Amino acid sequence: MGGRFETRAIHAGSEPDPLTGAVVPPIYAVSTFQQEAPGVHKGFDYSRADNPTRQRLERALAELEGAKYAAAFASGVAATAAILTLLEPGDHVLAGDDLYGGTYRLFEQIYRKYGLAFDYADLSDPANVRLRENTRLIWLETPTNPLLKIIDIQAIAERKGDALLAVDNTFASPYLQNPLALGADLVLHSSTKYLGGHSDLIGGAVMTNDPELYERLKFVQKSVGAVPSPFDCFLVHRGIKTLAVRMKAHCENALKIAQFLAAHPKVERVYYPGLEGHPGHEVARRQMRDFGGMVSFELGGDVRAFFKTLKVFTLAESLGGVESLANHPATMTHASIPKEERERRGIRDSLVRLSVGIEHPDDLIEDLERALAAA
């Protein structure tokens, strides 16, 4: 399909249905497909292996990341697990030290026992990439969850040696940043977040330009079977059509909120890459189209009273939906990281993470003003 991002987001994988002319890909709620003779069929045999609604979504996902290939999964962590399945026992993974708590849990509590070794480093300084002989994967998020560190993808790609570089692009979305163009081998999304955009589904995806990696991922997708339902694929695909307009509004609101928080006496520190004082501001300006919808801050006050007073922001895990959410990483999204390790990484009990939605910014700021006064 070609065209600029906004156009591709609407048309990618969405050409009219050849059978009926339907302008939106139909939901093929079906498990199996008739075969004319054993092994002779129209390209689909069983929906775990492939499904027409999923295939349309995968074409859209690939196009948005400038990738040749995409594989959709039942959740972001299922997509992460699929990438880890490409490794062999004894392999070493170097990961960024700030990342989603569920990713850390998957690494430490599931895959470590299958013989993978994990190390964590602050990759916002590329000099911290120190490879071992058996390092097969570098894993990073940027901006990171929840501290919004910015990692220079191109600088890490230049240091990756023989390892694969996987970038979890969930916080940025493909509208803001395309890691494959910066040298990553694999891009991952939790499509639960900005891609879906409406907090009404769980999904994940992996994109790549490497045909061999893609074949292996398709094999894992079919063989392990963590596939999204046709209905969830439809919802993600529907969400993607408005990704560009939503992201513009998320970014505009988040910058206003970050500036408001930075000037507030009860706020000790604001983490937002769009603020000029943010250590990753220059890199973000270079590798992202804008600075995203996530803002974190250290609250100098009563965190419980703050959350209790919020009315427009909902206290909930997750992010990337049209509605604003507030999260307490220490007890919610990052509770699976042991306290000592969490605090070493800078996730204190005073840390608040906001997923800034696309409501009117004045309503959001008034809500925060009230809650900060009560804190």
User: Which residues does the annotation mark as catalytic?
Assistant: 48, 100, 168, 193
Distance of CA 106 to the CA centre of its chain: 16
Closer to ligand P1T by Cβ: residue 8 or 147: 147
Closest CB to ligand P1T among 116 and 201?
A: 201
- Of 8 and 80, the one with the shorter C-beta distance to ligand P1T is 80
The dihedrals phi and psi of 10, each to the nearest 5 degrees, come to -85, -35
- Residue 6: burial class (beta carbons within 10 Å; 0-12, 13-18, 19+): middle
Task: Map residue 250 onto helix, strand or coil.
Answer: helix
Min dist. Cβ of residue 201 to ligand P1T (A): 9
Here the tokens at position 310 are: 């919020």
Closer CB to ligand P1T, 8 or 193, in the complex: 193
CB of 18 to ligand P1T, least distance (A): 32
Nearest approach, Cβ of residue 244 and ligand P1T (Å): 20
| Cβ pair 329, 351 in contact under 8 A | yes
Q: How far is the CB of 76 from ligand P1T (least distance, A)?
A: 2
Q: Is 316 exposed, middle or buried (0-12, 13-18, 19+ CB in 10 A)?
A: middle
- Paired residues of 69 in beta bridges: 208
Which residue is nearest to ligand P1T, using beta carbons? 76
Nearest to 12 by CA among 49, 4, 51, 47: 4
Kindly tell me which of 202 and 374 has the beta carbon lying closer to ligand P1T: 202
Nearest to 370 by CA among 273, 264, 293: 264
Residues in contact with ligand P1T by CB under 6 A are 75-77, 100, 102-103, 141, 145, 168, 170-171, 190, 192, 202, 204, 317-319, 327, 333
Q: Give min distance, CB of 335 to ligand P1T, in A.
A: 11
| Both structure tokens of 279 | 């250590």
* H-assigned helices in the chain: 5-11, 52-64, 76-84, 101-105, 153-158, 173-176, 211-224, 230-240, 243-262, 281-287, 303-309, 339-344, 361-374
Half-sphere exposure of 130 (CA within 13 A, CB side): 5
Question: Mind giving me the DSSP string for 166-235?
Answer: EEE-TTTHHHH--GGGGT-SEEEEETTTTTT-SS----EEEEES-HHHHHHHHHHHHHH--PPPHHHHHH
Q: Which is nearer to ligand P1T, 140 or 213 (CB)?
A: 140
